[in-house]
Amino acid sequence: MQLEELRGRIPDEFIEAAAAQGITALTPPQELAVENGLLDGKSFVVAAPTASGKTLIAEMAIIKSAIERKRKAVYVAPMRALVSEKFADFRRFYPSLRIAMSIGDLDALDQWLTEYDIVLASTEKLDSLIRHGAGWLGEAGCLVFDEVHMLGDQGRGPTLEILMTRLRRLCKDAQMLALSATVGNSGELAGWLNAELVESDYRPVALEKGVEFGSVIHYGDREEKLSGTHKLPELRITQDTLEKKKQILLFYSTKRNAESGAEKLGEVVSGCLSSAERKALESLSKTAVSALDSPTAQCEKLGRAIRNGVAFHHSGLVNEQRKLVEDAFRQGLLKALCSTTTLGIGVNLPAHTVVVRDTSRYSEAGGAERIGVNEVTQLFGRAGRPKYDKSGRALLIARSGDEITDLYDRYIAGELEPIVSKLGVKPILRTHVLAFVATRFLTNEDSILGFLSETLYGYQYSSLSELREITREVLGELEKWGFLEKRGSVYSTTRLGGRVSELYIDPLSARWILDSLMKERDDTANLFMLANTVEMRPYVRETEDAAEAFMHYQYMLSGNSVNYDSEELLFYDPIKPLSTALMLRRWINETPERELTQAYRTTPGAIYAKVTNADWLLYACTELGKIARVNTRPLLELRIRMKYGIKKELVDLVRLRQVGRARARLLYDNGIRSVADLRKEGAATRAELLFGKEISKIILEQVKTL
């Protein structure tokens, strides 16, 4: 079907935007959706391969709602990067529409979103907006949930499931679209959502899937001899890809393996670089290394890899490094990229060949486990993307001849796994039940169970007896902790309970914080209060100094409302959160990142993730402390120190723009120990000598107004 045939049925703005992207005809799944009522407002589950045009199906519904029906459209995705990418696309192609993105502060109503036609948000942020009473959501005419296979994820799935169920009630006549490339039970999902099903195996870029062994790729019906000759399979596949003048993306099970892979690949990639590419990569390498004030061993390793035309990508990198790597790969400067699953969802990269090197991973709970078919399929989908390639290939690596058939049958010929609800456990329900009551959405046991019966869990399991028992336990626990009160059969939140729900922290964490706030605390005890929350897991590695320090801080665990011997906390070891607290203590005492990564065998990205979480939790502690009427001034100061990683003596100086951890220390060590000191004679000259004219001018201009 040609797009022109839709003129009159869909706003012209959509047809013009599609044409600007070179799209003139519908793909088979898009045509199926239109024929089955997409433009008439029907809801859909779209299960089709990556790059088959699912996003354009959503775009048709969004634009129809926003322009023709004059009703707000909401797009939801699990990853911030994916939300940001779609936001940029909509802004570029629909300049006349009011388009907003909301992925930030979880304790904000963002009332300004009321004025926008299209809102793009992360799952957690949209859930938070509902908790804060975002009334405009009820006006939405179109709801799009991307990467909906995340319903089966232990961590993020339950929030998505609750959100989808709640929005179905809140937006009764809204069109709902659920999109995914990896749903083994798409029919069941469509039944749950009362939606039409579009299921297709269409892919505009042909993708061959095979298993490599002994320099031969086995595709099932044929074999292909690799031109690469290296003894390591991933290197010979890379050699073969480079000979085709293409780029390669390799997935590994661990950060360490990805880094090691990048180092090895540099051997074969560096020889294929032009002099112009080498020059550009040298500059990128310096930028990557200098992303931190004190470059770590990982930064230097990344810099070396980039100089050779390769990079690694994982959660241990800081945001600036991740973006640099992604952009350089898009530009074709990086020829090979070694990644963990951080690049497995949503990101559009020009990889002709994808290799999933590891099909098992290690977890503390289960040891070595084989990864699922859905995950491998998701990773395979990164190969052969439209706009970049006319074909692609996705490969597994066999370690022996006997393994070829097993890998092929399991991951290539095998069926996708069904999505199964992860909702029915107490820690997950605790947070959501409190939110139900806090927003007066559901206020008694029967109404809560009635709602839960509408979830995917309720749809998949006919008996709710187990869920009823868990719900009763949760309600009793929340009442005991002082977050709920009951009159007759009706529950309401206390002032504390309402604020805990708004702050988007686990009630278990909130109760621990409230108990801890009542005790005498130094900086380390405050940091232990943060680290011993659900939100700070997983912890850094256990250290000897934490075991020694525990004798001084074990009093924090006594006389609490939280039962640390409960089944839920069966594997609880207080030395682990205390180790994390001591790492944060070193951070606020200006220990360089390089030393921290070595001492705790961690990465800069992991450190910054902990610092970001700690910043949020310090804010939550301060807010709860106000209600509990405790002195919050030490927490406010600690939050500034946490944000910048500074000692107490630098707190005044970091008030200035352009003055962070490193510059504040330089000023202090050169005799400028406060903002007031910058007003003294000779201070301007010293600042200029330290930072140059441009930066010192920005700093000194601020002093006049402080």
Tens of pLDDT, residues 616-625: 999 999 999 9
Q: Is the pLDDT of residue 251 over 90?
A: yes
In angstroms, rounded to a whole number, what is the distance separating the alpha carbons of residues 208 and 322? 28
- The arithmetic mean of pLDDT across residues 253-279, rounded, is 95
**What's the start-to-end Cα distance of the chain, in Å?**
64
Which residue, 600, 577, 581, is CA-closest to 526? 581
Class of the CATH domain delimited by 650-703: mainly alpha
pLDDT digits (tens, 9 = 90+) for 620-664: 999 999 999 999 999 999 999 999 999 999 999 999 999 999 999
Q: What is the pLDDT of residue 308?
A: 97
Q: What is the pLDDT of residue 228?
A: 85
In angstroms, rounded to a whole number, what is the distance separating the alpha carbons of residues 611 and 606? 9
Q: How many CA atoms lie within 13 A of 659 on its CB side?
A: 30
In angstroms, rounded to a whole number, what is the distance separating the alpha carbons of residues 181 and 203? 11
Domain pair 206-412 / 426-501, same fold: no
Q: What is the pLDDT of residue 127?
A: 93
Lowest-confidence segment of 110-114, 365-369, 405-409, 489-493 by average pLDDT: 365-369
- 564 to 537, 554, 571: CA distances (angstroms): 15, 13, 10
pLDDT digits (tens, 9 = 90+) for 98-128: 999 998 877 777 889 999 999 999 999 999 9
pLDDT digits (tens, 9 = 90+) for 218-243: 998 899 999 988 999 999 999 999 99
Lowest-confidence segment of 161-170, 292-301, 342-351, 358-367 by average pLDDT: 358-367
Which residue, 152, 353, 168, 327, is CA-closest to 265? 353
Grouping H, G, I as helix, E, B as strand and the rest as coil, residue 118 is strand
Going by C-beta distance under 8 Å and a sequence separation of 6 or more, which residues neighbour residue 67?
Answer: 11, 13, 97, 117
Lowest-confidence segment of 240-254, 422-436, 613-627 by average pLDDT: 422-436
pLDDT digits (tens, 9 = 90+) for 487-524: 999 999 999 999 999 999 999 999 999 999 999 999 99
Q: Is the pLDDT of residue 190 over 60?
A: yes
Amino acid at 63: I
- The arithmetic mean of pLDDT across residues 459-480, rounded, is 90
Exposed/middle/buried for 635, CB within 10 Å: 0-12, 13-18, 19+?
A: buried
Q: How many CA atoms lie within 13 A of 588 on its CB side?
A: 25
Topology of 3-199 in CATH? Rossmann fold (3.40.50)
In this structure, the strands spanning 196-199 and 118-122 are unpaired
Q: Going by CATH, does the domain composed of 505-645 fall within 1.10.3380.30?
A: yes
Q: How would you label 54-93 residue by residue, b for 16+ Cβ within 10 Å and e otherwise? A: bbbbbbbbbbbbbbeeebbbbbbbbbebbbbebbebbeeb
In this structure, the strands spanning 216-218 and 206-213 are antiparallel
Q: Is the pLDDT of residue 568 over 80?
A: no
Residue 90 and residue 14 in contact, taking contact as beta carbons nearer than 8 Å? no
The pair phi, psi for residue 493, each rounded to 5°, is -85, 150
Residue 478 CA to its chain's centroid (Å):
29
Q: Is the pLDDT of residue 365 over 80?
A: no
Grouping H, G, I as helix, E, B as strand and the rest as coil, residue 410 is helix
* Cis peptide bond prior to 538, omega within 30° of 0: yes
- The arithmetic mean of pLDDT across residues 413-440, rounded, is 92
- Domain segments of the chain: what residues? 3-199, 206-412, 426-501, 505-645, 650-703
Going by C-beta distance under 8 Å and a sequence separation of 6 or more, which residues neighbour residue 449?
Answer: 464, 467, 468, 471
CA geometry: angle at 624 spanning 591 and 480, to 5°? 120
Q: What is the pLDDT of residue 237?
A: 97
Q: What is the pLDDT of residue 571?
A: 66
In angstroms, rounded to a whole number, what is the distance separating the alpha carbons of residues 235 and 267? 9
Tell me the average pLDDT of the chain: 93
Q: Is the pLDDT of residue 259 over 90?
A: yes
Q: Which residues pair with 217 in a beta bridge?
A: 212, 224
Residue 407 and residue 369 in contact, taking contact as beta carbons nearer than 8 Å? no
Band the pLDDT of 565: cuts 50, 70, 90. Answer: low
In angstroms, rounded to a whole number, what is the distance separating the alpha carbons of residues 605 and 540? 13
Grouping H, G, I as helix, E, B as strand and the rest as coil, residue 369 is strand
Q: Is the pLDDT of residue 542 over 60?
A: yes
Q: Going by CATH, does the domain composed of 206-412 fall within 3.20.20.100?
A: no
Residue with tokens 């770590």: 296
Going by C-beta distance under 8 Å and a sequence separation of 6 or more, which residues neighbour residue 40?
Answer: none
Q: What is the pLDDT of residue 366?
A: 59
Q: What is the pLDDT of residue 604?
A: 93
Instruction: Give 3-state DSSP helix, strand, coil % of the chain, rounded to 5.
Output: 55, 15, 35
Q: Is the pLDDT of residue 564 over 70?
A: no
Amino acid at 495: R
Going by C-beta distance under 8 Å and a sequence separation of 6 or more, which residues neighbour residue 318?
Answer: 291, 292, 604, 605, 608
Q: Is the pLDDT of residue 569 over 60?
A: no
Residue 564 φ/ψ region, left for φ over 0, alpha for ψ in the -120 to 50 degree band, beta for the rest: alpha
Lowest-confidence segment of 249-263, 337-351, 440-454, 668-682 by average pLDDT: 337-351
Which residue, 222, 192, 225, is CA-closest to 208? 222
Work out the percent of the chain whose per-residue pLDDT is above 90: 83
Class of the CATH domain delimited by 426-501: mainly alpha
Question: How many residues are listed for the chain in this entry?
Answer: 706
Q: What's the 3-state SS for 674-705?
A: CCHHHHCCCHHHHHHHHHCHHHHHHHHHHHCC
User: Which two tokens mark 634?
Assistant: 């030490």
